[in-house]
Amino acid sequence: MTTTESPHLTDEGAQEMAPRILAGGTEVLREVGSVLRISEAEAAEDAPVDAETTIINMGPQHPSTHGVLRLMLELDGETVLRTKPVIGYLHTGMEKTAETLTYLQGGTNVTRMDYASPIFNELAFCLSAEQLLGLELPPRATWIRMLMSELNRLTSHFLFLATNGMDLGSTSMMIYGWREREEGLRILEMITGLRMNHNFIRVGGTAADLPDGWQARLTEYLDSIPERLEEYEVLMTNQPIWRERLQGVGSITTEEAIALGATGPILRSTGYAWDLRRDMPYLAYDQVDFDVIVGSYGDCFDRYAIRLNEVRESVKILRQCIDMMPAGDYRIQDKKVTPPPRARIDESMEALIHHFKLFTEGFKVPEGDAYAAVESPRGELGVYLVSDGSAKPYRMHVRGPSFVNLQVLPHLMHGGLIADAVAIISSVDPIMGEVDR
């Protein structure tokens, strides 16, 4: 093609390309059109004999759909054209349930949403409620929360590494990932009393202080992780089959990811450094030193590598938590919000009444609405709370990162092979409890 002096000049004047602003992904997505939008009934109809495409169903009982995700795939031979994620199989109306629970009970409800990273759910819920209450937490409470978050991020990413390995046929990776995750869960159990569904982070602080000897136990765990990660590198990262299965599979651009509302490792895999911990710091993340891991191609391999390296960053943060953990109270001493210390109940009638009131009626939260978000292992986890001034939320909405990230799936699948579908689902790392709520 020869270049002319003014290529944009036509009879109708200058024809310039619209500036490709960041949100230009919208147009790209529309042109590609990878979302399948047909109803159940339409899909069930018999296809004409000469149809060039087939619609097949995957899930909800498929072992690689991470729970109960169901996909309707439109195939041309082995190539995936359009995809429709069908969700709702795990919908239990948790947002409705939240309206009948007090703020103290609310933690037990939200913790069951993203069951692989329960601490983050509790944290976002409590941050939102604390915003309405206008509470300022003691530093130790903040740091315990940060420590718990990062520990939970470790276990969540190990779960991803395990299932990602399993989905791609590396069963030894599954066992390794599970082994590391269990060790992390044992520490969580030591601190909170439960492996999962902790309800440990409460409005006004945490449920309890860290137990004796937590530093030694945690240090021992952290010391074991680097060499385990080296094993993973040998087993997977540097292995040709692994790279072949993931590199260039299911790629997405920054513009598309932003237009689709994707956050977390999916957005970062496109080379876009956006991490709430660094960019909009909550808790005490502005006082610790860590790196935001970004990819460059937005493919499955980048998403795998990001999570693997985020484990290293979390270890870094956890070591700083051990060194810098401030002394002090693990919850705010506000008798209207947090229960009095156990010893006070025996000697003070007032403390007893407060304790009783808190656990029967709960505490009242001022009218208004608030949105607080944290960087969960899957992206921005936000809780939108509306309070009518009573002891129960008037409305609670959870912006689940998995729910939004799932919309990226059809675009990742488009044009790929059906055999890669499992790798792509796995790399999005959806947790269906959070998608369906």
Residues that bind other proteins (CB under 8 A): 21-23, 25-26, 29-30, 35, 37, 39-40, 87-88, 91, 93, 95-96, 100, 131-132, 134, 258-263, 274, 279-280, 367-371, 373, 380, 382, 384, 386, 388, 394-395, 397, 399, 403-404, 406-407, 436-437
Query: Nearer to other proteins by C-beta: 71 or 404?
Result: 404
Whichever of 259 and 332 has its CB closer to other proteins, that residue is 259
Q: How far is the CB of 299 from other proteins (least distance, A)?
A: 20
- CB closer to other proteins, 290 vs 384: 384
Angle at 403 between CA 73 and CA 203, to 5 degrees: 165
Q: In what side-by-side order are the strands of the sheet with 79-86? A: 54-58, 70-76, 79-86
- Between 130 and 150, name the residue whose CB sits nearer to other proteins: 130
Other C-beta atoms lying within 10 Å of the C-beta of residue 203: 27
**Least distance to other proteins, CB of residue 405, Å:** 10
Q: In which region does residue 62 sit, left (phi positive, over 0), alpha (psi from -120 to 50) or beta (all else)?
A: beta
As given in the structure block, the two tokens for residue 159 are 């779960």
Angle at 265 between CA 83 and CA 178, to 5 degrees: 95
Cβ contacts of residue 245 below 8 Å, gap of 6+? 168, 300, 420, 423
Least separation in angstroms between residue 245's CB and other proteins is: 28
Least separation in angstroms between residue 257's CB and other proteins is: 9
Please list the alpha-helical segments (H only) found in 76-213. 94-98, 103-110, 118-133, 139-167, 171-192
Nearer to other proteins, 79 or 407 (CB): 407
> Of 182 and 279, which has the nearer Cβ to other proteins?
279
Min. distance of Cβ 350 from other proteins in angstroms? Answer: 24
Residue closer to other proteins, measured from CB, 279 or 350: 279
| Among candidate residues 71, 89, 70, the one with its CA nearest the CA of residue 81 | 71
- Residue for token digits 């276990």? 155
Nearer to other proteins, 79 or 131 (CB): 131
Distance CA 82, CA 76 (A): 10
The least distance separating other proteins from the CB of residue 80, rounded to whole angstroms, comes to 18
SS3 417: strand
Closer of 62 and 395 to other proteins (Cβ): 395
Task: Tell me the HSE value of 275 on the side-chain side, using a 13 A CA sphere.
Answer: 19
Q: Which amino acid is at 415?
A: G
Dihedral sign of CA atoms 305, 307, 308, 311 in order: positive
Lookup result for tokens 């956006």: 274
Least Å distance, CB 8 to other proteins, is 22
Instruction: Give the residues across from 202 on adjacent strands.
Output: 205
Q: How far is the CB of 227 from other proteins (least distance, A)?
A: 37
Nearer Cβ to other proteins, position 187 or 398?
398
Question: What span, in angstroms and rounded, lies between the C-alpha atoms of 167 and 163?
Answer: 6
| Residue type, position 338, single letter | T
Cross-strand bridge partners of residue 372:
383
Q: How far is the CB of 28 from other proteins (least distance, A)?
A: 10
Distance from C-alpha of 50 to C-alpha of 70, rounded to nearest angstrom: 26
Question: Shortest distance, CB of residue 71 to other proteins, whole angstroms?
Answer: 14
